[in-house]
Amino acid sequence: MKEHPMLFSQGMVNKIRTGHKTQVRRIIKPQPVQSSTNPLYLDWKDGSFSADDAILRHSPFQPGDHIWVRETWGIFQTSWTDYGWEPQGLIDFSTTLPKDRLVFSGMYGIRKVVYAADGYERDKFCEEPGFKASIHMPRWASRITLEITSVRIERLQNISERDCAAEGFGGKYTREYKRPRFQAYWNKLYDNWDANPWVWVIDFKVVKDARVRS
C-alpha cells in the first residue's frame, strides 16, 4: 500500500466529508498516445498497453492505496491572560512543529490545527499571517484519509452524468444536467477541457476523518 498526497479545494473537502464526492480525476503524466501499430493500444512511457488492463498495472494509483488530503490550514493559538483564555488568532509557525494535532505552547497557551473549509474566519482575530496553502500541509496535519477502491483511465470528455455527480456536482434535482458545472470547474483548475486529456479516474472511500476539537 502506498500513500499519495492530493490537493483539494475547500469546497471539495466539504463534499468529501458529507459523502457527496467519492471520485476524483487526475491528468496522466506523461500523456499516452494512440499506438501506431494497434489502435486498441496506447503507447505510454516505455511500452504499449491496452487502456482497460495493462496500463493500470503501471498506474501510480492502485486499489487499496491511501490518499491523504491536503487542504488550506493554519495554527490557531489560545493564550491565558488576566481575563482567562482568549483567542489570539492564526499565528506564524514552522511546519516542523511536533507531529500531533494539538500543540501545547508552554503552560499558558494552546495551539491547534484549524482548517479553512470549516468556515474559520481568518480575519476575525488577526489579519496576518493567515492560512497556509494546501501545498504546504505536512502529513501530520492532514485530518482526512481516503482509500482508493478502483482506478480506470478514460478521456476527460467521456465523463458521464453519474460520474459528474460522484465528482461532487450532483444537484438538487436528479435530472439536472451536471456536465457543464464539472467542465467549468475543471477549466478553472487546468484550462484544458478542449484538449481532452487522458485521466486517471479514481474512486475512493473515507477511512479517516478526524473531527476538529473545539
Residue 182's pLDDT is 95
Categorize the per-residue pLDDT at 127 as very low, low, confident or very high, splitting at 50, 70 and 90. Answer: very low
C-alpha distances (whole Å) from 148 to each of 22, 61, 152, 164, 204 are 10, 8, 11, 18, 4
Residue 78 amino acid letter: T
Domain that holds residue 110: 72-134
Residues 56 and 95 placed together within one structural domain of the fold: no
Total domains in the chain come to: 2
Categorize the per-residue pLDDT at 211 as very low, low, confident or very high, splitting at 50, 70 and 90. Answer: low
Residues 121 and 176 placed together within one structural domain of the fold: no
In the numeric block, the cell 496522466 is attached to: 28
**Is residue 214 assigned to a domain?**
no
Q: What does the alpha-carbon distance between residue 169 and residue 167 come to, in Å, rounded to a whole number?
A: 6
Residues 172-200 have a mean pLDDT of 88
Residue 25: is its pLDDT beyond 90?
yes
Residue 19's pLDDT is 94
Dump pLDDT digits (tens) for 71-125.
Answer: 998 877 766 555 555 555 565 665 545 444 445 555 546 777 888 898 865 545 4
* Secondary structure element (H or E) that encloses residue 54, with its range: helix 54-57
**Is residue 164 assigned to a domain?**
yes
Categorize the per-residue pLDDT at 51 as very low, low, confident or very high, splitting at 50, 70 and 90. Answer: low
pLDDT over 70, % of the chain: 73
Residue 82's pLDDT is 56
CA angle 84, 85, 88 (to 5 degrees): 130
In the numeric block, the cell 464539472 is attached to: 182
Categorize the per-residue pLDDT at 214 as very low, low, confident or very high, splitting at 50, 70 and 90. Answer: very low
Residues 205 and 150 placed together within one structural domain of the fold: yes
Categorize the per-residue pLDDT at 162 as very low, low, confident or very high, splitting at 50, 70 and 90. Answer: very high
Q: C-alpha cell of 171?
A: 444537484
Q: For residues 55 and 153, is the Cβ–Cβ distance under 8 A? A: yes
Residues 180 and 92 placed together within one structural domain of the fold: no
Q: C-alpha cell of 43?
A: 503507447
Residues 65 and 76 placed together within one structural domain of the fold: no
Contacts 24+ apart (CB under 8 A), 82-88: 87/125, 88/125, 88/126
**DSSP β-ladder status, 3-7 and 66-70:** parallel
Residue 3: is its pLDDT beyond 50?
yes
